[in-house]
Protein backbone atom coordinates (compact mmCIF):
# COMPACT_ATOMS: atom_id res chain seq x y z
CA UNK A 1 0.00 0.00 0.00
CA UNK A 2 1.38 3.42 -0.92
CA UNK A 3 1.57 6.25 1.55
CA UNK A 4 -1.24 8.06 -0.30
CA UNK A 5 -3.47 4.96 -0.13
CA UNK A 6 -2.76 4.62 3.61
CA UNK A 7 -3.72 8.26 4.19
CA UNK A 8 -6.88 7.82 2.13
CA UNK A 9 -7.79 4.71 4.08
CA UNK A 10 -7.19 6.58 7.34
CA UNK A 11 -9.27 9.52 6.13
CA UNK A 12 -12.05 7.25 4.92
CA UNK A 13 -12.06 5.43 8.25
CA UNK A 14 -12.21 8.69 10.19
CA UNK A 15 -15.06 9.97 8.01
CA UNK A 16 -16.99 6.71 8.35
CA UNK A 17 -16.47 6.73 12.12
CA UNK A 18 -17.54 10.38 12.34
CA UNK A 19 -20.77 9.55 10.49
CA UNK A 20 -21.48 6.56 12.75
CA UNK A 21 -20.68 8.53 15.91
CA UNK A 22 -22.96 11.35 14.74
CA UNK A 23 -25.71 8.84 13.92
CA UNK A 24 -25.36 7.37 17.41
CA UNK A 25 -25.67 10.78 19.02
CA UNK A 26 -28.54 12.02 16.85
CA UNK A 27 -30.62 8.82 16.72
CA UNK A 28 -30.34 8.27 20.47
CA UNK A 29 -32.20 11.55 20.95
CA UNK A 30 -34.30 11.68 17.77
CA UNK A 31 -34.92 8.16 16.40
CA UNK A 32 -36.67 9.49 13.30
CA UNK A 33 -33.87 11.93 12.40
CA UNK A 34 -33.18 12.27 8.70
CA UNK A 35 -29.95 11.35 6.97
CA UNK A 36 -29.50 15.07 6.33
CA UNK A 37 -29.57 15.76 10.09
CA UNK A 38 -27.02 13.01 10.65
CA UNK A 39 -24.80 14.39 7.87
CA UNK A 40 -24.97 17.84 9.45
CA UNK A 41 -24.05 16.44 12.87
CA UNK A 42 -21.12 14.57 11.29
CA UNK A 43 -20.05 17.77 9.53
CA UNK A 44 -20.16 16.10 6.13
CA UNK A 45 -22.33 16.71 3.11
CA UNK A 46 -25.29 14.48 2.42
CA UNK A 47 -23.55 13.24 -0.73
CA UNK A 48 -20.58 12.14 1.38
CA UNK A 49 -22.89 10.31 3.78
CA UNK A 50 -24.52 8.53 0.83
CA UNK A 51 -21.11 7.54 -0.52
CA UNK A 52 -20.53 5.61 2.71
CA UNK A 53 -24.12 4.53 3.36
CA UNK A 54 -26.37 4.54 0.27
CA UNK A 55 -29.58 4.45 2.33
CA UNK A 56 -30.88 4.52 5.89
CA UNK A 57 -30.93 0.72 6.14
CA UNK A 58 -27.21 0.53 5.31
CA UNK A 59 -26.46 3.20 7.90
CA UNK A 60 -28.51 1.44 10.60
CA UNK A 61 -26.83 -1.90 9.93
CA UNK A 62 -23.40 -0.30 10.23
CA UNK A 63 -24.51 1.67 13.29
CA UNK A 64 -25.66 -1.50 15.06
CA UNK A 65 -22.27 -3.13 14.51
CA UNK A 66 -20.51 0.09 15.55
CA UNK A 67 -22.48 0.33 18.79
CA UNK A 68 -21.75 -3.29 19.68
CA UNK A 69 -18.05 -2.61 19.04
CA UNK A 70 -18.24 0.48 21.29
CA UNK A 71 -19.83 -1.62 24.04
CA UNK A 72 -17.19 -4.32 23.70
CA UNK A 73 -14.43 -1.68 23.78
CA UNK A 74 -15.95 -0.13 26.92
CA UNK A 75 -15.91 -3.54 28.58
CA UNK A 76 -12.27 -3.97 27.56
CA UNK A 77 -11.35 -0.55 29.00
CA UNK A 78 -13.01 -1.58 32.27
CA UNK A 79 -10.41 -4.36 32.64
CA UNK A 80 -12.97 -6.89 33.89
CA UNK A 81 -10.23 -9.41 34.72
CA UNK A 82 -8.32 -7.02 36.99
CA UNK A 83 -8.77 -6.31 40.68
CA UNK A 84 -11.55 -7.43 42.97
CA UNK A 85 -14.49 -8.91 41.02
CA UNK A 86 -17.16 -6.50 42.33
CA UNK A 87 -14.94 -3.50 41.59
CA UNK A 88 -14.44 -4.88 38.07
CA UNK A 89 -18.20 -5.39 37.67
CA UNK A 90 -18.81 -1.78 38.77
CA UNK A 91 -16.29 -0.58 36.15
CA UNK A 92 -18.17 -2.56 33.50
CA UNK A 93 -21.49 -1.00 34.58
CA UNK A 94 -19.93 2.48 34.54
CA UNK A 95 -18.42 1.83 31.10
CA UNK A 96 -21.74 0.73 29.61
CA UNK A 97 -23.75 3.54 31.15
CA UNK A 98 -22.91 6.27 28.59
CA UNK A 99 -24.01 3.96 25.76
CA UNK A 100 -27.52 3.59 27.16
CA UNK A 101 -29.51 5.79 24.80
CA UNK A 102 -27.98 4.39 21.62
CA UNK A 103 -28.13 0.80 22.88
CA UNK A 104 -31.84 1.30 23.55
CA UNK A 105 -32.26 2.61 20.01
CA UNK A 106 -30.30 -0.22 18.38
CA UNK A 107 -32.03 -3.03 20.27
CA UNK A 108 -35.49 -1.56 19.66
CA UNK A 109 -35.16 -0.30 16.07
CA UNK A 110 -37.48 -2.39 13.84
CA UNK A 111 -35.08 -2.21 10.89
CA UNK A 112 -32.34 -3.82 13.01
CA UNK A 113 -34.49 -6.23 15.02
CA UNK A 114 -36.31 -7.30 11.86
CA UNK A 115 -33.11 -8.22 10.00
CA UNK A 116 -32.55 -11.89 10.93
CA UNK A 117 -28.91 -12.03 9.79
CA UNK A 118 -27.94 -8.82 11.55
CA UNK A 119 -29.90 -9.70 14.68
CA UNK A 120 -28.18 -13.10 14.89
CA UNK A 121 -24.84 -11.35 14.54
CA UNK A 122 -25.67 -8.86 17.32
CA UNK A 123 -27.04 -11.30 19.88
CA UNK A 124 -25.16 -14.43 18.85
CA UNK A 125 -21.94 -15.58 20.39
CA UNK A 126 -20.68 -15.01 23.87
CA UNK A 127 -21.67 -11.90 25.75
CA UNK A 128 -18.50 -10.57 27.42
CA UNK A 129 -20.66 -9.66 30.42
CA UNK A 130 -21.09 -13.37 31.21
CA UNK A 131 -17.42 -13.72 32.16
CA UNK A 132 -17.43 -10.79 34.60
CA UNK A 133 -20.70 -11.94 36.17
CA UNK A 134 -19.25 -15.41 36.65
CA UNK A 135 -16.10 -13.89 38.15
CA UNK A 136 -18.12 -11.62 40.47
CA UNK A 137 -20.00 -14.51 42.05
CA UNK A 138 -22.60 -17.16 41.59
CA UNK A 139 -26.34 -16.54 41.76
CA UNK A 140 -27.77 -16.79 45.28
CA UNK A 141 -30.52 -19.04 43.99
CA UNK A 142 -29.10 -22.09 42.21
CA UNK A 143 -32.39 -22.79 40.42
CA UNK A 144 -32.13 -19.71 38.21
CA UNK A 145 -32.34 -20.41 34.47
CA UNK A 146 -29.18 -20.32 32.37
CA UNK A 147 -28.39 -16.79 31.25
CA UNK A 148 -30.51 -15.20 33.97
CA UNK A 149 -27.63 -13.19 35.47
CA UNK A 150 -26.76 -11.72 32.04
CA UNK A 151 -30.38 -10.84 31.32
CA UNK A 152 -30.68 -9.27 34.78
CA UNK A 153 -27.52 -7.23 34.19
CA UNK A 154 -28.87 -5.75 30.94
CA UNK A 155 -32.36 -5.23 32.41
CA UNK A 156 -30.87 -3.31 35.33
CA UNK A 157 -28.86 -1.14 32.96
CA UNK A 158 -32.04 -0.47 30.99
CA UNK A 159 -33.83 0.49 34.22
CA UNK A 160 -30.87 2.68 35.15
CA UNK A 161 -30.90 4.47 31.81
CA UNK A 162 -34.62 5.12 32.19
CA UNK A 163 -34.21 6.34 35.77
CA UNK A 164 -31.40 8.69 34.82
CA UNK A 165 -33.46 10.14 31.98
CA UNK A 166 -36.97 10.22 33.44
CA UNK A 167 -36.16 10.88 37.10
CA UNK A 168 -33.07 12.97 36.44
CA UNK A 169 -31.04 10.81 38.82
CA UNK A 170 -27.30 11.38 38.98
CA UNK A 171 -25.21 8.71 37.30
CA UNK A 172 -23.43 7.66 40.51
CA UNK A 173 -26.77 7.02 42.26
CA UNK A 174 -27.99 4.91 39.35
CA UNK A 175 -24.75 2.90 39.26
CA UNK A 176 -25.01 2.39 43.05
CA UNK A 177 -28.60 1.16 42.64
CA UNK A 178 -27.60 -1.23 39.84
CA UNK A 179 -24.73 -2.64 41.89
CA UNK A 180 -26.89 -3.02 45.01
CA UNK A 181 -29.57 -4.82 43.04
CA UNK A 182 -27.03 -7.08 41.33
CA UNK A 183 -25.28 -8.00 44.56
CA UNK A 184 -28.11 -8.01 47.12
CA UNK A 185 -31.34 -8.21 45.20
CA UNK A 186 -34.44 -6.12 45.69
CA UNK A 187 -36.36 -8.02 48.33
CA UNK A 188 -35.00 -9.32 51.60
CA UNK A 189 -38.13 -11.34 52.30
CA UNK A 190 -38.07 -14.99 53.29
CA UNK A 191 -39.90 -16.85 50.49
CA UNK A 192 -41.38 -19.41 52.93
Which domain CATH number covers 97? 1.10.357.10
Handedness of CA 94, 95, 99, 104 (dihedral sign): negative
49 within domain boundaries: no
15 within domain boundaries: no
**Domain assignment of residue 102, given as a range:** 79-192
CB neighbours of 22 closer than 8 A, spacing ≥ 6? Answer: 38, 39, 41, 42, 43
Residue 156 CA: distances (Å) to CA of 9, 36, 73, 105, 124: 40, 34, 20, 16, 21
Q: What is the pLDDT along the chain (192 residues), one digit of tens a residue?
A: 444 444 457 888 999 999 999 999 999 999 999 999 999 999 999 999 999 999 999 999 999 999 999 988 999 999 988 999 889 999 999 999 999 889 889 989 999 999 999 988 888 777 778 888 888 776 555 677 877 888 888 899 999 998 888 888 889 999 999 999 988 876 655 555
51 within domain boundaries: no
Instruction: Report the distance separating Cα 97 and Cα 182, nearest Å.
Output: 15
139 within domain boundaries: yes
Residue 24 CA: distances (Å) to CA of 31, 76, 98, 112, 171: 10, 20, 11, 14, 20
DSSP 127-177: -HHHHHHHHH---SSTTPPTTHHHHHHHHHHHHHHHHHHHS---HHHHHHH
53 within domain boundaries: no
Q: How many domains does the chain have?
A: 1
Q: Specify whether the CB–CB gap between 105 and 31 falls below 8 A.
A: yes
4 within domain boundaries: no
12 within domain boundaries: no
pTM of the predicted protein model = 0.82
20 within domain boundaries: no
Amino acid sequence: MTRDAAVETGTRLRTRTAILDAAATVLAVTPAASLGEIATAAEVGRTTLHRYFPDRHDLLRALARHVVALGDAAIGRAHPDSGPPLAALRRVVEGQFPLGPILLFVYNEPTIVGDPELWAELVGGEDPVDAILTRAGRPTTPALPAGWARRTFWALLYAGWEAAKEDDLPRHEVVDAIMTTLTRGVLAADPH
